[in-house]
Amino acid sequence: MDPTIIVHRPRPAGGRHVTVLGQDVGVAYSDRDLIEFLRQSGLDETDAEAMVDGDSPEIEWVAAPAHEYGGAA
């Protein structure tokens, strides 16, 4: 199954672009931001929190570990 949510590589200034179903939804600076983007994309907040907290296979974290939003090294 392909991930439906992509959290792209960290930006040099911090934060990570987020794509949901191929649509750019913004830059997340924390898990809270990511949850809000998922909620705005139609997921129930409880489901969005469970996906992020549970490291769902529907979320692909690119070029950095999950839950890290700081600037790239």
- The pTM of this model reads 0.89
pLDDT, residue 3, reads 65
Structure tokens at 17: 């672009």
Reported as a pLDDT band with limits 50, 70 and 90, residue 71 is low
Short-list 32, 39, 27, CA closest to 67: 32
Short-list 29, 56, 51, 55, CA closest to 38: 51
Task: Identify the residue with better confidence: 66 or 1.
Answer: 66
DSSP state of 45: H
Bridge partners (DSSP) listed for residue 6? 19, 60
Structure tokens at 35: 């949850």
Reported as a single tens digit per residue, the pLDDT across 2-60 is 568 999 999 999 999 999 999 999 999 999 999 999 999 998 888 999 999 998 999 99
Instruction: Provide the 3-class DSSP secondary structure of residue 6.
Output: strand
